[in-house]
Amino acid sequence: MGLVVDYAGVLTDPDAGKLFEAIKALRNQGVRTALLSNAPGGGSVTTVLARYFDELVFSGEVGVAKPDARVYLLTAARLGVPAEACVFIDDSRPNVAGAVAAGMVGVHHTTVPGTLAELSVLFSA
């Protein structure tokens, strides 16, 4: 399985430390992880994020942005996981809808506890 996470609005949430812990735990269990951001590039933040993600995908570097289905499919391919086996988290409803249209399971992030509850269900053994 794969987990694909947006940066701004999700990992910048005041309680994001709990999300980072969950991402790390899932990665340690063999779930492939990716950051997918519409940012132009990663810059200095990539060093910190590389600890949590197998792949870092920035729209400015790949030339396609959310909610275009191609960016979700590209991210899944980089993870080596079919889109249908990926969960995507974003605070933007149109971006979640784009992921769902590409075949992923979408999670609309509004609160850290809510997102963690959805992840616990989606990644339960």
pLDDT in tens, 60-116: 999 999 999 999 999 999 999 999 999 999 999 999 999 999 999 999 999 999 999
SS3 label, residue 89: strand
What is the Cα–Cα distance from 67 to 102, expressed in whole angstroms? 9
| Stretch among 30-34, 40-44, 50-54, 88-92 having the lowest mean pLDDT | 40-44
What is the Cα–Cα distance from 118 to 124, expressed in whole angstroms? 10
Instruction: Determine the Cα angle at 95 with ends 8 and 65, to 5°.
Output: 80
Domain boundary assignment for the chain: 2-122
Homologous superfamily of 2-122? HAD superfamily/HAD-like (3.40.50.1000)
Token pair in block for residue 39: 């940012």
What is the Cα–Cα distance from 88 to 97, expressed in whole angstroms? 10
